[in-house]
Amino acid sequence: MIARGTGRPPTKILVGICTLWMLASRPSGAQDLPAENPSKLVLRVSPERLVLDRPGEAVVEITLTGPILSEGSEPRLHLQVNTGTLSEVRSKGPGAWAASYRPPSASFPQVALFLAVARGERTVVPGWAALPMSGVGDALVESKPRSLVRIRIEDAEFGPVMTDKKGSARIPLVVAPGVRTGTSEGKEIPLNVPPFNRVAAIAERGEMRVGPGQQTRIWVVAVDPWGVPARELPLEAAVSRGQVSSPRFLGDGLANLDYTPPLTEGAGEDTVSVRIPGEPASRASLRFGLLSPPRPPPPPAAPAPAIAAPSPKRFSLAPEVGVITNLSQLHAPAALIDLLWNPAFLPPEWVLHLEVGAYFSKLDGELQGQEVGSFLTVVPLALSLSYRYQVGERWFFLGRVGGGIYGMWHSLEQEGESGIQRSALNLGADIGLGGGLALSPGKLLLEVRYLYLESKGIAELRGHLGGLCMLMGYQFSLF
C-alpha cells in the first residue's frame, strides 16, 4: 500500500506485520447465561494480556454455581477455544475447574473465544469469555533522508525513527484487534490486517444415535472486530446429513440452535458449521459421531412345551463277588445278587436290599479223632437297610445292617465210612461298611461286612460260619 501526501515531499509507508503480541485493546469480560437461569458458569482468563512472541501462557478458571450442583453426580464440563490450544481440563473441587491456554502462532490481531458447557443430570449451563490479542510488527516508512517519521494508531504514537540516507525507516507497531488504519504525517494509512475468526461453537453432546427422537443443542458465541460481545449478529448454520434449526440470538454474544441427526442413514459422522455471512474467516465447525440405531429386541420365543420330569428310578441290581472267612478253617468264595429298592416313603439316602447268593467251601479236618472232608454250600436270603453319605459329585460312603435266613447243605466224608448229608435253615445277621464311585452308567461298590451265622456241624470243625465278608460289585439302575 502506498499513500501520498500534499504540500510536502511524498512519503511512502509500507506496513508489514511480522510478529504479533497478544495485547487487550478492550477489557476481557467473563460472560454467562441471562439472569433468569439460576445456575451460572463463569469463565475468567488471567493474565488479561498476553504477547505471542514472549514466553507465557494464560490460565482459564471456570466456576459453576447454582442448583445444578445438587442434581446428583458431579456435572461434566466441556471446554473449547476458537484459536490456540488448551490443556486437559483439571478439577479443582466441586464446581471448579482450570485449564492452561497457549496462544496461536499466527501473527495477526485476533480474539480468543473460550466457550464451555457444564452438563448435569437435568440442566445444561453454558458460559464464555473473550481474550482480545494485539499484534506487534513494524512499518517500512520512506520519507526525506535523515528525517524523523512517526505513525499514530488510535491513542498510541510509534516513533520517531530517523530515516536512512535513502529515506527509509522501520517503525515498530502494536496493532489491536479491530484496528484497520493508522496515520502518518496527516495521512490515513491502511494497515492491511487480515480478518480473524469471531465465532466459537460447542455442543452439549458430541455423539448421537441415528433415528427419531434424538436432538442436542449447539451453543455459539460471536464478537465484533474489537472482541466485544455482539448484541445482534447474523449467523448462518449448515449441516452435512442431519438437520439444524435457525440460530437464536440471546444477546451478549450468545446464540443457540438445535441439531437433529439423520433419521435413517447409517453410522458415521456429521458436520455442522456456523458462520458469519460474508466473513470467510469467521466460521466454527462441529463433528458429531453417529451411532447406528439400536436393534429391536427379538420377539419373545414361544414357551417350550412343558416336559414332565422323568420319574426317578427306584430299583437297581448289583452283582457282587468276594470271599468270606471265619478266621479259622473256613475260607469260602461268595457270589451274590443284590436287589436294591429306594422307596418313595424313605429319603433318597436310605435303600432297602434283598440279597440272594451262595458260598462254597471244601474243608479237611478231624472229627472224633478221624480225618474228614467237608463240602459246604450256603444260600442266603437276607434283607438289609443301608444309608449312603455323598462326598462330592461321585464318591459316597455306605453303612448297612440286616439279617436273614441262610440255607446250609453239609456233606461230610469220613475215611472208611459212607458220607453224612446234613441240611439246615439258620438265622443270621450282618453289619457292613463300604463305599462307592459313581461311573457311567452305574456305580462301583466295595464293602466289608461282619456276618454272624451259627452252625453246629461247622463248629465241630473249629469255629462257626461267620467273620469277615469282603465283596466288590457293580450297581445298575433298572426302573
403 exposure class (CB count in 10 Å sphere: 0-12, 13-18, 19+): middle
Question: Does some domain include residue 387?
Answer: yes
Question: Does some domain include residue 161?
Answer: yes
Question: Does some domain include residue 298?
Answer: no
Residue 470 has pLDDT above 50, yes or no: yes
What phi, psi does 49 have (nearest 5°)? Answer: -130, 135
3-state secondary structure of 58: strand
Which of 85, 110, 133 is the C-terminal boundary of a domain? Answer: 133
C-beta neighbour count of 388 within 10 angstroms: 18
Question: Does some domain include residue 305?
Answer: no
Residue 329 has pLDDT above 80, yes or no: no
Predicted confidence at residue 22, as pLDDT, reads 30
Residue 20 has pLDDT above 80, yes or no: no
Residue 467 has pLDDT above 50, yes or no: yes
Residue 461 has pLDDT above 90, yes or no: no
What phi, psi does 457 have (nearest 5°)? Answer: -60, -40
Judge if 390 and 429 occupy the same domain. yes
Judge if 149 and 89 occupy the same domain. no
Judge if 107 and 167 occupy the same domain. no
**Distances, alpha carbon 187 to alpha carbons 5, 52, 141, 150, 254, in Å:** 6, 30, 13, 11, 39
C-alpha 374/C-alpha 242 separation (Å) is 108
What is the bridge-based pairing of β-strands 420-438 and 370-391?
unpaired
Whose CA is closest to 15, among 135, 133, 164, 148?
135
Judge if 352 and 210 occupy the same domain. no
Chain CA centroid to CA 383, Å: 63
Judge if 214 and 330 occupy the same domain. no
Judge if 101 and 144 occupy the same domain. no
Which CATH number goes with the domain that contains 38?
Answer: 2.60.40.10
What is the bridge-based pairing of β-strands 207-209 and 283-291?
parallel
Question: Does some domain include residue 306?
Answer: no
Which CATH number goes with the domain that contains 394?
Answer: 2.40.160.20
Exposure string for 241-273, b = 16+ CB within 10 A, e = fewer: ebebeebebeeebbbbbebbbbeeeeeeebebb
> 441: cis peptide before it, omega within 30°?
yes
Q: Are 220 and 172 in contact (CB under 8 A)?
A: no
C-alpha 450/C-alpha 320 separation (Å) is 16
Judge if 337 and 420 occupy the same domain. yes
pLDDT class of 114 with cuts at 50, 70, 90: very high
Which of 190, 213, 228 is the C-terminal boundary of a domain? Answer: 190
Judge if 169 and 232 occupy the same domain. no
Judge if 401 and 391 occupy the same domain. yes
> Into how many domains does the chain fold?
4
Lowest mean pLDDT among 89-93, 99-103, 152-156, 440-444: 440-444
1 exposure class (CB count in 10 Å sphere: 0-12, 13-18, 19+): exposed
Predicted confidence at residue 217, as pLDDT, reads 93
Judge if 465 and 358 occupy the same domain. yes
Which of 291, 324, 348 is the C-terminal boundary of a domain? Answer: 291
C-alpha 355/C-alpha 416 separation (Å) is 40
90 exposure class (CB count in 10 Å sphere: 0-12, 13-18, 19+): exposed
Residue 459 has pLDDT above 50, yes or no: no
Question: Does some domain include residue 367?
Answer: yes
Question: Does some domain include residue 2?
Answer: no
C-alpha 395/C-alpha 476 separation (Å) is 16
Question: Does some domain include residue 307?
Answer: no
Judge if 100 and 165 occupy the same domain. no
Predicted confidence at residue 271, as pLDDT, reads 92
Provide mean pLDDT across the span 248-277.
Answer: 88
**Which structural domain range is residue 235 located in?**
199-291
Provide mean pLDDT across the span 390-407.
Answer: 88
Judge if 361 and 402 occupy the same domain. yes
Please report, for the chain, how many H helices and E strands are present, in that order. Answer: 1, 33
